[in-house]
Structures are given as structure tokens and as C-alpha cells.
């Protein structure tokens, strides 16, 4: 759900990509993205593409051909990282766990000591399973082998802390339409000075011109023409970030946590069991298991057709086994949750 003010911002008059007014908007967006990511990284901006373009920006720039790239995979988007790494000509090594679980220090450290990767990637909040990965054990293990760490923050940014600097993430990217509640089309991106230093040691050019971090830096920092950034999408992102900061990041995150507590209590009250263990759940993506004997398609159809409420299903190994109920942005409040639970309970028994 997008706030009315964000829709209004979308329709503001267009200007060119080097217009001083637009450069001012970009600078404010960068400033607000830094606080939302929890970073002081100068290299913080938005890529002109969707979250997947953000993922490719991270992998195409920081994973060199022939380098070892370690992916911690327990969901749909870990798999996508693996595919992108292979396309860069990297030696991709994968540590897999069942979908919905998370990684702990010992298993990651053992894996990284064996594989000695240059770069390690993980998904912070795996929307396909509802599991939230604590970045700290992964970063601790990665530091021991001097690997850079890429965090996929597509689902987490804006709805919960990412804490890039505090936990020590080197590279993170996101999208504009989930936790930030803006229209899709931009991919917030940040990289640490340590990551930038490695990038400048690359021996081969980045095949992706459109997503080349050095060229993008020349645009965002020195205002040299690179591509025609979409003013409309930036106006909307600016307004979305402004509203987030008006509420306050801590208030916003607390609101999402309260909505999650109410949701989990309510779902358990309806007799459902959460797929992800307590303490490892994404606050704004709830994945209760589909109860035995319940036709998930019928439940989703009932909600959509009778109430205009869209919920998703699991993917891959969780297909048909869990519901995925997103509660983020303006909808993340107890009233919305109670309203949803009433209708969901009705749909389960209809």
C-alpha cells in the first residue's frame, strides 16, 4: 500500500537528470536512505531498476570472474544470487538449508573456512519463507576469512532495522515497493568504503555498463551524465522516505513489531502454526502453515473476491504449505491486523 502523498509526488512535473533541482532531490534521497539502511557509507544511492537490478549491481560489481562466491541459500532469492554469480563467471559455492530455517555461526564458519570465498551473500529477510537471518554470525565468520558480505535487504529495508554499519554489512540493496511502501522501479544500494576499495582492485571491467558502480558514482557524486534517472520514481521515493522519517524510524519499526505480535497471536488463536521458529520471523511477512484439510486456493480466492485482500502462497518446497501474509507500510497496525484476522478466520472455515 502506497500513501496518497507518494502517489501525488509521482505526478510532479518532470525535469532532466542533471537539473539542479533534481540533483537536490537525489541528495536528500541519499541522505534519508543512509539513515534507513543504518549507515554512513558515502556510496549510498538508488539504482534505476527494481530490487533484482540491485542484486545484480551487487554481484556484477563485487564478484569477479574466477573468484569464489559463497551463497547461503534457504529460499527463492538465495537461488537467484547463485544464478547471477554463475553468470559472472565466478566459482559459486552454496550452503543450503531447508526453506524457513536460518544459519548459525558454526555451520557458516566451517563452510567459509573450507571454501575461502572472496564474497559471501545472504538474504536478510527471505520473503519466500518468512525467515529472518541474523547478519552477525555470518559477518563474524566472513571476517575470519576476509570475505566481503552482501546482504539482500529487499524485504527488510524500511520496515525493520538493517543496521548496515553496526552489524558490518559491506554491500546491501533493496527495492522501493516493500518496506519503503513506494512504487517499484528503484533499488536502494549501499557499499562500505572497504567494499569500494576492493572494487577498485578489480582486474576485469564490470560487464554490466548500466549497473556499473563506478559510473553510477560519477553520476551521483560528480553529476556526470550516465543515464536519465526517472525523476517521477525519485520524487515518490523522496516523499516515501520523508514520511518514514516524519514518523521516525524507531516508531515505524516498533509499529511493525506490534502488528506482528498481534498477527502471530491471532493466527495461533485460529489454530494455525507458524512455519518459522519464534525469534527468527520477519516481523512483516507472516508464514503460518496451511492447516491439514484446508484448501489454500479456496481461502485465497475467498479473501480476494469477497474482501479484496491478497495473500500469497509459499514458493518452491513451501508451495501450498504456507500462506504468506505481508503486513507492511501504512497497513502495519493492530486495527488492520484484527480486521484481517476476522476475515481470514471466516475464509478458513467457509
- The residues that touch a second copy, with contacts defined as CB under 8 A, are 2, 7-8, 10-11, 13-14, 16-17, 48-53, 56, 60, 80, 83-84, 86-89, 175, 177, 183-185, 205-211, 226-233, 236, 310
Give least dist CB 129 to a second copy, A.
16
Q: Which of 274/332 has CB closer to a second copy?
A: 332
- Answer yes or no: are the C-beta atoms of 190 and 37 closer than 8 Å: yes
| CB 173 to a second copy: min, Å | 12
Q: Between 247 and 310, whose beta carbon lies closer to a second copy? A: 310
Residue 174, phi then psi, degrees to nearest 5: -150, -165
Using the minimum distance from each CB to a second copy, give the nearer residue, 232 or 333: 232
The Cα 175–Cα 285 span in angstroms is: 16
DSSP symbols for 147-205: -EEEEE-TTTBTTB---HHHHT-SEEE--SSSTT-S-SS-EEEEE-HHHHHHHTT-SS-
Least distance CB 134 / a second copy (angstroms): 26
Closer to a second copy by CB, 228 or 338: give it. Answer: 228
The DSSP string of 233-287 is HHHHHHHHHHHHHHH-HHHHHHHHHHHHHHHHHHHHHTT--BSSPTTSB-TTEE-
Cell of 199: 572494487
Q: Residue 85 contacts by C-beta under 8 Å, 6 or more apart in sequence?
A: 59, 63, 69, 71, 92, 121
CA 199, chain centre distance (Å): 23
Our CB check for a second copy shows the closer of 84 and 191 to be 84
Least distance (Å) between residue 303 CB and a second copy: 15
Nearer Cβ to a second copy (86/97): 86
Question: Min. distance of Cβ 323 from a second copy in angstroms?
Answer: 16
Amino acid at each position: 500500500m502506497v500513501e496518497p502523498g507518494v502517489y501525488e509526488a509521482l505526478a510532479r512535473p518532470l525535469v532532466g537528470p542533471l537539473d539542479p533541482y533534481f540533483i537536490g532531490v537525489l541528495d536528500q534521497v541519499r541522505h534519508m536512505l543512509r539513515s534507513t539502511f543504518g549507515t554512513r557509507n558515502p556510496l549510498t544511492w538508488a539504482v534505476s531498476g527494481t530490487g533484482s537490478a540491485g542484486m545484480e549491481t551487487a554481484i556484477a560489481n563485487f564478484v569477479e570472474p574466477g573468484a569464489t562466491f559463497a551463497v547461503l541459500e534457504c529460499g527463492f532469492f538465495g537461488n537467484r544470487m547463485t544464478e547471477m554469480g554463475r553468470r559472472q563467471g565466478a566459482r559459486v559455492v552454496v550452503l543450503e538449508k531447508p526453506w524457513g530455517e536460518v544459519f548459525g555461526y558454526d555451520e557458516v564458519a566451517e563452510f567459509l573456512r573450507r571454501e575461502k570465498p572472496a564474497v559471501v551473500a545472504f538474504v536478510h529477510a527471505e520473503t519466500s519463507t518468512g525467515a529472518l537471518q541474523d547478519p552477525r554470525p555470518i559477518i563474524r565468520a566472513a571476517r575470519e576469512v576476509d570475505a566481503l558480505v552482501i546482504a539482500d535487504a529487499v524485504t527488510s529495508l524500511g520496515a525493520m532495522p538493517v543496521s548496515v554499519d553496526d552489524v558490518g554489512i559491506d554491500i546491501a540493496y533493496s527495492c522501493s515497493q516493500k518496506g519503503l511502501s513506494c512504487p517499484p522501479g528503484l533499488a536502494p544500494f549501499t557499499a562500505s568504503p572497504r567494499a569500494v576499495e576492493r572494487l577498485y582492485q578489480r582486474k576485469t571491467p564490470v560487464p554490466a555498463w548500466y549497473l556499473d558502480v563506478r559510473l553510477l558514482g560519477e553520476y551521483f557524486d560528480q553529476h556526470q551524465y550516465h543515464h536519465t534517472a526517472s525523476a517521477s520514481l525519485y520524487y515518490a521515493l523522496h516523499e516515501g522516505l520523508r514520511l518514514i522519517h516524519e514518523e521516525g524510524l524507531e516508531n515505524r519499526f516498533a509499529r511493525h513489531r506490534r502488528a506482528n505480535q498481534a498477527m502471530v497471536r491471532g493466527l495461533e488463536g485460529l489454530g494455525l502454526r507458524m512455519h518459522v521458529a519464534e525469534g527468527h520471523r520477519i516481523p512483516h511477512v507472516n508464514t503460518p502453515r496451511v492447516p491439514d484439510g484446508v484448501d489454500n486456493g479456496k481461502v485465497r480466492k475467498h479473501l480476494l473476491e469477497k474482501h479484496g485482500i491478497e495473500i500469497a502462497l509459499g514458493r518452491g518446497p513451501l508451495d501450498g504449505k504456507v500462506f504468506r501474509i505481508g503486513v507492511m507500510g501504512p497497513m502495519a497496525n493492530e486495527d488492520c491486523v484484527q480486521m484481517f484476522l476476522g476475515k481470514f478466520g471466516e475464509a478458513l472455515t467457509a
